């Protein structure tokens, strides 16, 4: 059902693509993905039936299938239209354990840019419903990604994201297209990159906060999120 899409290879370093899109994107890191699949191979051998449906749960079915075939895996179920020499489906139920390992290895970065940054006083109510109040004068950064892009709308509010390698709390309600980060004394700049998961915050944490499986979360990645592939750390 989900086409494997037009994933485009891109060179990047320091988590920063050379020419990233304007607002939001997901990067599949093939080196980390290879490590994760290798560890699966070591424990369970090459006959694991890899579940690569839903565009490999947002990681890009073609990228994952290619790496899996290179490592010697034999069985995978993909969406129609995705094919990889050496991988065939088999009768056992497809298994998504690879996905958990991939996220443990931070094989996907979900990232978006800061589009507004401001200093506010203590006691400011942030986002819909006023469910978050600043407890001190602080900086708020508005990030161009929300639940329409597949970031789970956490209820009750909460969650963390990563900016410049630091973890920061999400301030209040995640909205359809945006979320707000409370960065304390640090002011993020317009255009700075925030990592929703894959940096110091993992997709596993998002799964815990949202009570949704990694498969459900990965199936919800929206089409506004451009899919990129990167080879290095």
The residues of the shown chain that bind other proteins, judged by CB under 8 A, are 1-3, 22-23, 51, 53-54, 113, 115-116, 118-120, 124-130, 140, 142, 144, 147-148, 150, 153, 155, 171, 175-178, 180, 190-191, 211-213, 215-216, 219-220, 222-224
Smallest distance from other proteins to CB 21, Å: 9
Smallest distance from other proteins to CB 131, Å: 9
Cβ-based nearer residue to other proteins, 16 or 233: 16
Cβ-based nearer residue to other proteins, 129 or 165: 129
* C-alpha to C-alpha distance for 205 and 100, rounded to whole angstroms: 12
Helix (H) or strand (E) holding 25: strand 24-29
Phi, psi angles (nearest 5°) of residue 173? -65, 130
Smallest distance from other proteins to CB 48, Å: 17
51: CB partners within 8 A, 6+ apart: 76, 77, 94, 95, 96, 98, 99, 215
Q: Cβ(67)–Cβ(98) under 8 Å?
A: no
3 in the Ramachandran plot: left (φ > 0), alpha (ψ -120 to 50) or beta? beta
Smallest distance from other proteins to CB 171, Å: 8
Smallest distance from other proteins to CB 63, Å: 18
Cβ-based nearer residue to other proteins, 84 or 182: 182
Radius of gyration of the chain (CA): 18
């Amino acid at each position: 059902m989900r086409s494997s899409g037009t994933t485009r290879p891109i060179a990047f370093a320091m988590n920063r693509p050379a020419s990233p899109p304007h607002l939001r994107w997901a990067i599949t890191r093939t080196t980390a993905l290879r490590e994760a699949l290798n560890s699966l191979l070591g424990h369970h051998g090459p006959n694991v039936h890899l579940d690569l449906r839903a565009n490999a749960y947002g990681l890009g079915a073609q990228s994952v299938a290619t790496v899996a075939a290179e490592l010697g895996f034999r069985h995978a179920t993909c969406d129609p239209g995705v094919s990889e020499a050496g991988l065939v489906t088999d009768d056992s139920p497809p298994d998504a354990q690879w996905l958990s390992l991939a996220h443990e290895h931070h094989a996907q970065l979900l990232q978006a840019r800061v589009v507004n940054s401001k200093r506010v006083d203590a006691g400011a109510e942030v986002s819909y419903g006023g469910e978050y109040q600043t407890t001190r004068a602080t900086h708020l950064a508005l990030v161009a990604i929300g639940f329409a892009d597949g970031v789970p709308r956490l209820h009750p509010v909460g969650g963390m994201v990563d900016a410049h390698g630091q973890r920061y709390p999400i301030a209040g309600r995640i909205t359809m297209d945006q979320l707000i980060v409370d960065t304390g004394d640090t002011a993020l700049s317009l255009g700075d990159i925030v990592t929703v998961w894959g940096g110091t915050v993992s997709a596993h944490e998002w799964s815990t906060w949202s009570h949704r499986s990694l498969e459900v979360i990965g199936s919800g990645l929206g089409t506004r999120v451009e899919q990129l592939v990167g080879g290095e750390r």
